[in-house]
Structure 1
Amino acid sequence: MLKTAPSLSDQIYDQIVDEICNGRLAPGMHLIQEKLAERFDVSRQPIQQAMNRLKADGLVEELGRRGLFVAPLDPTRMRDHYGIRSALDGWATRTAAQRIRDDGARATVLKRRGAEILADGNAAVAAGDIAGQVHADDAFHSLIYAASGNPMVAVAAEPHWRFLRRAMGDVLRRAEEPVVIWRQHGEILDAVASGDPEQAERLAIDHVTHAADRLAEVLEAAQS
């Protein structure tokens, strides 16, 4: 199947998301479209398209005539997204483990790809590359969604992931040791590959809720 190359607006969107995740674009920073167009050497149209997506995802906010700014991370909205993701991840991980329990040949493929992603994630941790860690985290959970055998899981999760990629950046920079997150990923992978649905589901839900709780503590402390 032929893959469509990312559009200019998609590339700009991805770059800005990465910069919000790694803290280069901090909350409250003014995003001036003319300067962004100059920086990316494009017209205003793909910048406007990227900004519209960023606003829809809650990453950028428009403050009247003042223009566009990187939005602060809202603890309530963050918990709402994580709550839905917890349910989706728990179901997907449990179902993936059930499928492997019923067909052990799937475990080999899952282990091989999972090991590659874990290596990428740990390499990003060693390099202090927050955006790289977020991409590897996305790849890990996408692997589990695919292993569930239900393509609608990724579709249902995507709106929440668009917001939570930014939250994940804050988790990694402010709330949790990255090595802990990747250790948890390894434990989830082992439980799925072992065909243990109950353990896999528990670990997946704990992984998500722990990240949400730790980040909420940091955000609420900063606001007090």
Structure 2
Amino acid sequence: MQVQLLKIESTPDLVDQVYRSLLDAISEGSLAPGARIMQEDIAEQLAVSRQPVLQALRLLKKDGFVLDAPGRGVLVAPLDVGWLMQIYQVRSALDALAARLAAQARVRIDPDLIARGRAATRGTDVKAMMAADAHFHSAIYAASGNPLIAQSAQLHWHHIRRAMGAVLQVSTMRESIWDEHEAIARAIAAGDAPTAETLIREHGEDASRNLASLLNTALQPASPGQTQTA
């Protein structure tokens, strides 16, 4: 399966651009679990030399997104349900703290964030859906007044993003996610810290359960012998 990516212009941060391009493809599902990635194919598609591709693949391997493959290339790592559940536990705790602090300050979350999120769910761009979700949660982190919350959440954001991408590709509950976001924002604006904390914690727990159900019943890794290019 040929996946089309935009060519990247040569810049000093070329390795980071290649890394992000591949990570986008992995998160959005264009590069599915088990898909084989060939260094020379990626270099040709992105119109870059092999060296930045090699370095980007090393970073992806270090971060747990690709694995060594028998023969040539690397394989996209499978989604590890247990590991992702642990990440969601940490994120849920951080979100609850952020919502409580934001509610204590009675911060008004920009309603345009919710409007843009709802608009994204009505389309087919999974990347836009993930970005909208990230912007909403980032707004709550900023509203908390504690910069350590955002810094801590960022540590595992790419794994959350990949899990979110897997769910959004098949989810029939995209609109209800933003119903939950809107209820959380209302509680924060009203200064109702207990409700805001409870709602966002339940929101994270629901996302975790939905992901586990999806991965345990629906996702099947691609054949290790199948070659995909980003």
Shift of residue 25 of structure 1? 1.1
Shift of residue 51 of structure 1? 1.9
Shift of residue 222 of structure 1? 4.1
Q: Within the alignment, does 1:27 sit opposite 2:50 as a pair?
A: no
Shift of residue 64 of structure 1? 4.9
Structure 1: 5+ residue stretches without partners:
101-105
Tell me the equivalent position of 1:129.
125
Name the SS for the 1:14 alignment partner: helix
Shift of residue 45 of structure 1? 2.8
Distance 2:94 2:55 in 1: 29
Shift of residue 193 of structure 1? 1.5
Letter in 1 for 2:188: V
1:107-126 CA deviation, whole Å, 9 max, x = no partner? Answer: 3xx3xxx3222222222211
Greater fraction of residues in helix: 1
Letter in 1 for 2:141: Y
1:20-56 CA deviation, whole Å, 9 max, x = no partner? Answer: 2222111111111111111111122322232233223
Tell me the equivalent position of 2:50.
44
Which structure ranks higher in relative contact order (CA pairs < 8 Å, sequence separation ≥ 6)? 2
Q: Percent sequence identity over matched residues?
A: 44
Using the size of structure 2 for normalisation, the TM-score is: 0.84
Tell me the equivalent position of 2:181.
185
Tell me the equivalent position of 2:4.
none
Distance 1:7 1:203 in 2: 40
Distance 2:31 2:180 in 1: 28
Q: Which deviates more, 36-45 or 71-80?
A: 36-45
Using the size of structure 1 for normalisation, the TM-score is: 0.86
Q: Which deviates more, 14-23 or 195-204?
A: 14-23
Query: Over aligned residue pairs, what C-alpha RMSD do you find?
Result: 2.0
Map 1:53-68 → 2, pairs under 5 A: 53-68=59-74
The question of whether the paired residues in 2 share the 8 Å contact of 1:176 and 1:211 is answered with: no
1:15–1:221: structure 2 CA closer, same or farther, 3 Å change rule? same
Tell me the equivalent position of 1:103.
none
Q: Which deviates more, 29-38 or 58-67?
A: 58-67
Name the SS for the 2:105 alignment partner: helix
Map 1:137-148 → 2, pairs under 5 A: 137-148=133-144
Structure 2: 5+ residue stretches without partners:
1-10, 221-230
Aligned partner (choices 198, 209, 213) of residue 209 of structure 2: 213
Map 1:1-224 → 2, pairs under 5 A: 7-100=13-106, 106-107=107-108, 110=109, 114-175=110-171, 177-222=173-218
Distance 1:206 1:21 in 2: 24
